[in-house]
Amino acid sequence: MSLSLAGVDVSHMSFHRMVSWSLVAVVALLLAAGLSLGAASPVQALERLAQCANNVDDDGDGKVDFPAEPGCTSANDPAEADPVPAPACSNRLDDDGDGVSKIDFPAEPGCASAADTTEVDPVPAPECADLRDNDGDVKIDYLKDPGCNWAADTEADTDCSNGRDDDSDGRIDFPDDLGCAGLNDADEVDPPQCNDGRDNDGDGTLDFDTGIPTQAADSDCESAVDTVEAPRSAPPPVPAPPARCADGLDNDGDGKVDFPADRGCSSAADDDEIDTQLVVVVPSSIPTPLLTPFPVVRLRGRTERDRVRITLLTVRAPAASQVSIYCTGRSCPRRRLAMRASRRIVRVRPFERRLRAGAVLKIYVTKPGFIGKYTRFRFMRNRVPLRADRCAKAPGTQPRTCPAS
């Protein structure tokens, strides 16, 4: 028996062979489609991260991530492949002629990383190569001072290089602690799941915005400060906080609470308890001193139509001073935040996010007995934030012009 297909005679056995091979081809196509359409595994997602910050020796040269990897000019580099020829700070040559004990990163004072293209020593010399005990621990410079991670480093220990589990998560220092971007990172606290460079829910996508073109963002992340990467139900609406004249607190410290007891309250809806009164200022023979060193507030970000994305908010303040932040506007993550300055630079991570036009940040840096710092940022549409700097003695008080001293 034979069949005629398009004018060609095909035997019964040949026909069965054709059907069998066709089925094999269809199965192969289905498998290929399944592999290409299926969600990527967490390992595949990790492989698409910037190789210079994934705690993996991607090029197998025994050197992991920036600054130790010669192929990494920053932690955001997507690949660890070493350049040819090797950079001056990883070519095993004494390029600047300062001695065989100072060759390449980390021993060379002129090398901030293994990818540096010059070994020329900076002037003045870095703290970890200046032959001085800068931090007073009777240990001097790189290899002897535990605060020195390389010769071009500073001697001060950071949370990510001090040998302690500062955030109590069972992991210590860089690169083991996920909260450490490098040895000089001053904070071990793990970043939010939507900004930690990891596929926490195993769906093949990660973070709110990785900055990597080939890496899909996780649709479950509402912002970079979102702490949950997995799908979840919509949170209940957050009720607006009560006005200061109905919150049960003595906001202006006059011993009287809320309307009608506080004379500064015109009604229970009034949001300001401060009394309107005539204040007579009597010059003192001993003026109140300024905080020393005087605080510095730094904000960095970029405008995005009707909002501003804050990427860095830091306060440089004297030890034991109080950092108080007030935020008004619908996009505020918190209405008030108070932090104690336990180190020279305080990073205000909760406000490193997008704030809409109309939001206002008021930052007080104060200490009893001193005149402190007041900074206000007013966020505008399609413009950089409007900044104002003044002085203040206490959080929430009326700012004033700083004295000439």
* Same-domain pairing of 277 and 302: no
Q: For residue 332, is it within any domain?
A: yes
Overall residue count recorded for the chain in this entry: 405
| Cα→Cα distances 360→125, 306, 326, Å | 42, 14, 8
What is the pTM assigned to this prediction?
Answer: 0.36
Task: Give me the pLDDT at residue 24, please.
Answer: 43
Contact 128, 154 (CB under 8 A): yes
Backbone angle region of 141, left / alpha / beta, with phi > 0 → left and psi within -120 to 50 → alpha:
left
Q: Does the residue 21 lie in any domain?
A: yes
Classified as helix, coil or strand, 228 is coil
Residue 338 and residue 362 in one domain: yes
Structural domain includes residue 191: no
Residues 279 and 336 in one domain: no
Parallel/antiparallel/unpaired status of strands 307-316 and 345-347: antiparallel
Residue-by-residue DSSP string for 266-309: SSTT-S--------PPPPPSSPPPBPSSPPEEEEEEEEETTEEE
Assess whether 386 and 301 both reside in one domain.
yes
Q: Is residue 23 domain-resident?
A: yes
Q: Are strands 307-316 and 296-304 parallel, antiparallel or unpaired?
A: antiparallel
Same domain, 354 and 385: yes
Question: How many C-beta neighbours within 10 Å does residue 269 have?
Answer: 11
Q: How far apart are CA 278 and CA 110, in angstroms?
A: 61
Residue 335 lies in a domain: yes
Per-residue pLDDT of the chain (405 residues; tens, 9 = 90+): 333 433 334 344 444 455 455 444 443 443 443 333 334 445 555 555 678 877 788 899 999 888 889 999 888 888 889 999 999 999 999 998 888 888 999 999 989 899 999 989 898 989 898 899 888 888 898 888 888 888 888 877 777 777 788 888 788 877 777 777 667 776 777 778 888 777 888 888 888 887 777 778 888 898 888 888 888 777 788 888 898 899 999 888 888 899 999 888 988 888 888 876 555 555 556 788 999 999 999 999 999 888 999 999 999 999 889 999 999 999 999 999 999 987 788 999 999 999 999 999 999 999 999 999 999 999 999 888 999 999 999 999 999 999 876
**Same domain flag for 365 and 278:** no
Three-class SS of residue 290? Answer: strand
The answer as to whether 59 is a domain residue is no
Same domain (yes/no): 302, 356: yes
Model pLDDT, residue 16: 46
DSSP for residue 183: T
Q: Are residues 374 and 320 in the same domain?
A: yes
> In sequence order, what are the residues at sequence separation of 6 or more whose Cβ sits closer than 8 angstroms to the Cβ of residue 216?
204, 205
Give the total number of structural domains in the chain. 3
Report which of 212, 210, 252, 248 is spatially closest to residue 229, judged by C-alpha positions. 210
Is 345 in a helix, a strand, or coil? Answer: strand
Residue 285's contacts (CB-CB under 8 Å, 6 or more residues apart) are none
Q: So what's the pLDDT on residue 170?
A: 83
Q: Is the same domain home to 359 and 384? A: yes
Residue 307 near residue 384 (C-beta atoms within 8 A): no
**Can you tell me the distance from the alpha carbon of 70 to that of 79, in angstroms, rounded to the nearest whole number?**
11
Burial of 61 (0-12, 13-18, 19+ CB in 10 A): middle
Amino acid at 102: K
- Spatial CB neighbours of 169, under 8 Å, sequence gap ≥ 6: 177, 178, 179, 188, 190
Beta-carbon contacts of residue 58 (< 8 Å; ≥ 6 apart): 51, 79, 80
Give, as one character, the DSSP assignment of residue 87: P
Structural domain boundaries, residue 9: 2-31
Measure the N-to-C terminal CA separation of the chain; round to a whole number of Å.
110
Residue 281's pLDDT is what? 59
- Residues 273, 300: one domain? no
pLDDT at 3: 38
Question: Looking at the structure, do residues 302 and 386 belong to the same domain, yes or no?
Answer: yes
Place of tokens 């830091």: 314
Residue 239 lies in a domain: no
One domain for residues 266 and 306 = no
Domain annotation covers residue 248: no
* Cis status, amide bond into 124, omega within 30 of 0: yes
